[in-house]
Structure 1
């Protein structure tokens, strides 16, 4: 893993180019903005698109109509244009109905949203199922509004359409799958939107290029919540094969990592993420599952209870830029995104190479010096030199290779970074000191 060349998949210049193509598109859960964004993603990865009509019942949810918008603004009494959609599409409440009307300030204020405690930020507000219109602006701009007549204009359309998502499978040696999911429905925000699809796309290309792997990998990109519900609704047979998985979001800002556990709490997803993070150079924290935040509320709902976790940097809702215009192109770091790609790749590699080992020698310890592969020192000098990490890993692994614990459980029990010992595991297999439990 240390010698893996990520530059082909995660060069800062390439990531910035992909980001800039997507950033200012007005996305929502259904509509032209989502379709355009998905098509751009499809220039870099293989997609397998699915379409579901508005009004379709998926689990307990109903697919809404789609929303499209071409322009919106307010003209003040002094003829100044403010809250311009074309300058920042967060200025309009998502799914706003069309309007072309003149009104006084008192009436207008009923439809304006701000964040008083973040006076320079434009909030991100949506209303998918209840018809209304509205504008968002910074609280500083709101406080400058004068009495008088305001012209309010929103050129939008809400009509029956299709929910679109992509569900692409990279087949491996096993039918068992790892689910890699992200979403693409937030407008003009950087960390809590585009960082996820950028990491997701890079991982797809890395796994495609280096496969086939032991596990199959299912790559899902969809609108948040309703897209996950639709995937689950139509994939009840597929999801029986899901062994592990992650939802990728908020991976573009923060020096630390945050891991949110699956609902089960001790799945291979949880163990692999914690093993890699614990032995990385980054500070990290572990958060127990709670049924809110993003698509884990669907994947980890009682009837499905899938082994799905989230590896993030700063977790959603914990930074002041969350769901507002402060989460812009200056808030994220492409270096941070590349770090996130590397950590995710290590985690997936740990899962893919994990198995339950059974030692060839169960009575007594094996004579390692007999191996044609250099596994153990052929000179006894432990009085002056401590046994190295590789030797300790070999001895601990062989001692616990009785068909009960997998390699990841052994690594966590004995405080090893499993990524560092992939080649040693291969040597133990080649020398037939261990074999994989069937």
Structure 2
């Protein structure tokens, strides 16, 4: 069994203990726990605030959630945080089975699961009421008369969002983002958060050109209000970003492209996935799980954003999705380690990408001991210590000198020749050591967003 050297599972278990939400009594304790790992700056948005039709909901609590058939209590929604649909209205009364059924949420494919009904926290104006009942309980119900005792309350509160900034040499910033509003859920939630926390602890020890910003908050709503209040100058310093979640199940590592595609962060992900994952998918924009990248890329912000998950399909990213079975026990350490390693490789690629400037004319004899830069290719008459990759490297040498044009980047070459960026970077650095080229850092550019 792979070793959990970064303690992803332990941190995930701790974060999953909190019954968090968009606005929740537990949010302060959750963020305080994260603050122990990385220092956070907090942003607070009061219930009732609105922007572009989005509303910060009130703090919602369940006081009782009982379903009775005669004198028998057949279901108690307070037995689990997900037992009542989020933001359900109170209801007390008697219903026949056919009238009750539309108010029961269940999933026959997950007979032990409470399902996460969350729509009304985004659409409070549509709120009705539902009970989330495991299918094995649901099958014991049926025709008859039922009494519902659902007492919920609403109180003004605040939505918490936080960020942590790792300063680099430049104010140009790469954003990493995770949600905090899925109570007790690991894959669709806190395992992704745990990976980003560990990534920023690693970044704290690195000398970086770019600054890095970890943003944590409720899905969509947190990002909508966080970006609403950022000055335009600050928004334009955000050169790209990554939304990361669903890291621990057995699906392939999946990166969805930025909205326009063709961005350097897209290329960095493709290279890292090709060479550091067991299985991967490069998907079009919004064809992963679909998350806050749509907020970051909205007009007036236009921050190029990749979503990085193991989503198997957009409508059902993994079997236990949005259910009480999405627990820390579902997480596979090898999958968590792989996601972390890929994110590291993406960062190292962006931090080390460079353009090559030629200092010679003509064809260099790379096998000459003066240079010693030749990559051996197969020869039927000579025994050589070569690998399956040798022909790729050999073909690279047929092309390489033309890439020393002051425009082509190392990542461009790695993409074209299907070579690991870091191996290629080290090889090209030897050309600079031989004074054949000079290297200049390739800085990520971003078109300026405009507010209207």
TM-score range, shorter chain: 0.7 to 0.9
Using a 3 Å threshold, how does the CA distance of structure 1 residues 398 and 168 change in structure 2: closer, same or farther?
farther
**Residue ranges of structure 2 left out of the alignment (5+ in a row):** 443-452
- The corresponding residue for 1:338 is 337
Query: Which moved further from structure 2: 43-52 or 132-141?
Result: 132-141
Using a 3 Å threshold, how does the CA distance of structure 1 residues 58 and 171 change in structure 2: closer, same or farther?
farther
Runs of 4+ residues deviating >6 angstroms = 369-372, 378-383
- The corresponding residue for 1:47 is 40
Residue deviations 1:342-374, cap 9 Å, x none? 11111111111112222222x2245668998x7
In 1, Cα distance between the equivalents of 2:146 and 2:50? 43
1:434 maps onto 2:442 in alignment = no
Match of 2:101 among 98, 104, 109: 109
Contact 1:74 1:81 (8 Å CA) reproduced: yes
1:36 positional shift: 2.2
Using a 3 Å threshold, how does the CA distance of structure 1 residues 401 and 67 change in structure 2: closer, same or farther?
farther
1:231 maps onto 2:226 in alignment = yes
Match of 2:115 among 108, 123, 131: 123
In 2, Cα distance between the equivalents of 1:357 and 1:28? 49
Using a 3 Å threshold, how does the CA distance of structure 1 residues 368 and 239 change in structure 2: closer, same or farther?
farther
Contact 1:396 1:414 (8 Å CA) reproduced: no
Contact 1:189 1:325 (8 Å CA) reproduced: yes
Contact 1:169 1:218 (8 Å CA) reproduced: yes
Q: SS where residue 330 of structure 1 aligns?
A: helix
- The corresponding residue for 1:351 is 350
Contact 1:376 1:391 (8 Å CA) reproduced: no
Q: SS where residue 184 of structure 2 aligns?
A: coil
Paired residues for 1:128-139 under 5 Å = 128=121, 129-130=124-125, 131-139=127-135
1:260 positional shift: 1.0
- The corresponding residue for 2:317 is 318
1:76 positional shift: 4.6
1:400 maps onto 2:403 in alignment = yes
Match of 2:26 among 25, 33, 43: 33
Paired residues for 1:129-208 under 5 Å = 129-130=124-125, 131-145=127-141, 147-154=144-151, 156-208=152-204
Q: TM-score, normalised by structure 1?
A: 0.86
Contact 2:246 2:311 (8 Å CA) reproduced: yes
Contact 1:398 1:434 (8 Å CA) reproduced: no
Contact 2:179 2:189 (8 Å CA) reproduced: yes
1:94 maps onto 2:92 in alignment = no
Q: SS where residue 40 of structure 2 aligns?
A: coil
In 2, Cα distance between the equivalents of 1:224 and 1:294? 7
Using a 3 Å threshold, how does the CA distance of structure 1 residues 288 and 378 change in structure 2: closer, same or farther?
closer
1:401 positional shift: 1.8
Using a 3 Å threshold, how does the CA distance of structure 1 residues 201 and 397 change in structure 2: closer, same or farther?
farther
1:428 positional shift: 3.7
Q: SS where residue 293 of structure 1 aligns?
A: coil
1:215 maps onto 2:207 in alignment = no
1:178 positional shift: 1.0
- The corresponding residue for 2:420 is 417
Q: SS where residue 328 of structure 2 aligns?
A: coil
1:79 positional shift: 3.4
1:58 positional shift: 3.4
Using a 3 Å threshold, how does the CA distance of structure 1 residues 255 and 132 change in structure 2: closer, same or farther?
closer
Q: SS where residue 307 of structure 2 aligns?
A: strand
1:113 positional shift: 1.5
Query: Which moved further from structure 2: 408-417 or 391-400?
Result: 391-400
Query: Which moved further from structure 2: 108-117 or 68-77?
Result: 68-77
1:409 positional shift: 1.0
- The corresponding residue for 1:360 is 359
Contact 1:85 1:91 (8 Å CA) reproduced: yes
1:11 maps onto 2:2 in alignment = no
In 1, Cα distance between the equivalents of 2:423 and 2:145? 68
In 1, Cα distance between the equivalents of 2:376 and 2:21? 66
In 2, Cα distance between the equivalents of 1:346 and 1:293? 23
CA RMSD of aligned residues (A): 3.1
Q: SS where residue 89 of structure 1 aligns?
A: coil
In 2, Cα distance between the equivalents of 1:179 and 1:110? 41
Using a 3 Å threshold, how does the CA distance of structure 1 residues 312 and 149 change in structure 2: closer, same or farther?
closer
1:424 positional shift: 3.0
Q: SS where residue 354 of structure 2 aligns?
A: coil
Using a 3 Å threshold, how does the CA distance of structure 1 residues 110 and 376 change in structure 2: closer, same or farther?
closer
Aligned length: 424
Contact 2:276 2:338 (8 Å CA) reproduced: no
In 2, Cα distance between the equivalents of 1:370 and 1:224? 58
1:325 positional shift: 2.7
Contact 2:257 2:306 (8 Å CA) reproduced: yes
Residue deviations 1:93-116, cap 9 Å, x none? 1123455x3534545434221234
